[in-house]
Structure 1
């Protein structure tokens, strides 16, 4: 099977938002009047971002999900995406389920494939996603203010737990492992919540490299600091609610530095607490208040008595 047969067979679909479809040198996109384009790119490399044993359906889902998560953090509505795919060989038994997983999520968010590229090489998936947001209403990393509450959507740490189980560094029941593995391999982007938080949240970021590491980006761009309540954060590990037990420092490590969660961390004024909770309820997304933004620079983790937790939690860094 050649390159163009591969594209025609697995990725050529009708397109509404670009008049050229996927058959020209460029896609042509135009946001609606009064809207701004939101654009993000992410790359998944075998052995770095996913294991070779992953189900290709789940990999297709995740490849798009990590990009939609960036749109969610901006409060944007998905429009379209392009896909660049390096493959060691054109295997239809791998490509068919990969495309199924990819397009199932794309259709769920009305996000069309409008172009891309294919080549032979080590397995690597690169996606650029396009969304739109009302002009001036995008959620940014730079809007956090001292006194704001610090919130997180969903749960954190379960994807990292699955990775630790794969590595042989942690043990859990089969039920816990299956659920944690699903969180690692098939995350759900919080697109609806991101849009519901426009005009409510003062800043937002998606949690991809670990909560504290990603929060540090918000604090740096906003020129503020923050405190995180360790007990509130520890309660975000879904596996613990399902019977997984580990020492408290290990639970905190999973939650605060785990990565691959693709939840939203965001800030909002205390006066907006009801609005935040309503946004979570309206979109079917749990939201948890885990700390506060402070004028003093730095990021502090506090125990139940308000004392500093005496250790650091490093987020993921590709080149560290």
Structure 2
């Protein structure tokens, strides 16, 4: 085992270096996230190694984004069925694309022989007391999401039933496949939401399931307006809009942010959102009454499927973003 002091910048995993020493600056809280991706569970068997590396890092960065943290350094543990230099090189290339973007350092990394699985732990920094949390939402806060939701779920649905989705234009198919393989962690958006949002979470298991983590943590409830869900042009191609809404509610892997904002912070949010890489859309409101309610425009309960279990679970068969809805009607 080798122990090192962290270098200034090293975005390439130094496999075989098992320990490091670091100290956060004064006045900074440490944000930590860890996640494991397993072949056949979190990504299909035939996923290219560069996409695996990219997504393994992206999903962890998304957790930091939901805390409003600046990525700092990461530790990785990789198991692979055999020593394969070409595979490892391509995998590292996928990691490097995101690591370089966020100046993320890799002081430690480990690799062994076994079933393909990747565990990443990422450390980030956030000013003391300013981290976004799940348990800080308040009654009457408005609920927002970044980007569009349901895209990765639609990509998986096509893989299970290509014939059913044959009418989706090829240009949209490429978009949703990219959303599944290489999601965009909303790191800059999360940082900008510090001091504006009261609570936040990233959407990994589906909007309804992940928003329920906020309601459970606060003891509050929420009402979503299903017609407000931001759908990409790909989902709008579905002949049954109900199916599109169910995908948006119950499929995951989009790694957008769901967050709550007090009404009095809406003007500040609109100003901040001008610099976002994606739109934000208001979709509902936090309430004192516990539970999650999803209503249509007539006030009737919208029936939805349950949560999402990534690649292994079949996507429910039933289930252009606008920035002007950020604090809209």
The answer on 1:206 being equivalent to 2:198 is no
Question: Unmatched 5+ residue regions in structure 2?
Answer: 314-329
Aligned to 1:184: 180
Q: Distance in 2 between matches of 1:30 and 1:236?
A: 43
Aligned to 2:231: 236
Q: Distance in 1 between matches of 2:275 and 2:36?
A: 31
Q: Distance in 1 between matches of 2:22 and 2:139?
A: 39
Q: Provide, for residues 143-197 of structure 1, a one-character-per-residue CA deviation record: whole Å limited to 9, x for no partner.
A: 1111000000011001000001111164133222111010000001000000000
Aligned to 2:115: 122
Q: Is the 8 A contact 2:39 2:116 kept in 1?
A: yes
SS at match of 1:147: coil
Aligned to 1:314: 306
Change in CA separation of 1:66 and 1:224 when aligned onto 2, cut-off 3 Å: same
Aligned to 1:255: 248
Question: Unmatched 5+ residue regions in structure 1?
Answer: 5-13
Q: Is the 8 A contact 1:301 1:308 kept in 2?
A: yes
Post-superposition shift, 1:283?
2.7
Q: Is the 8 A contact 1:237 1:251 kept in 2?
A: no
SS at match of 1:72: helix
Question: Structure 1 residues 124-133 or 27-36, which shifts more?
Answer: 27-36
Q: Distance in 2 between matches of 1:297 and 1:58?
A: 40
Q: Provide, for residues 78-106 of structure 1, a one-character-per-residue CA deviation record: whole Å limited to 9, x for no partner.
A: 00001110101122222111101101100
SS at match of 1:246: coil
What is the aligned residue count? 302
SS at match of 1:16: coil
Match runs of 1:141-220 below 5 Å? 141-168=134-161, 170-171=164-165, 172-220=168-216
Post-superposition shift, 1:226?
0.4
TM-score by length of 1: 0.89
Match runs of 1:42-57 below 5 Å? 42-57=35-50
Aligned to 1:7: none
Post-superposition shift, 1:238?
4.0
Aligned to 1:11: none
Q: Is the 8 A contact 1:85 1:117 kept in 2?
A: yes
Aligned to 2:288: 295
Q: Is the 8 A contact 2:150 2:235 kept in 1?
A: no
The alignment's C-alpha RMSD in Å is 2.0
Q: Provide, for residues 255-297 of structure 1, a one-character-per-residue CA deviation record: whole Å limited to 9, x for no partner.
A: 0001001000000001111222222222322100000001111
SS at match of 2:19: coil
Aligned to 1:104: 97
Q: Is the 8 A contact 1:158 1:238 kept in 2?
A: no
Aligned to 1:9: none
Q: Distance in 2 between matches of 1:215 and 1:117?
A: 34
Q: Distance in 1 between matches of 2:272 and 2:102?
A: 18
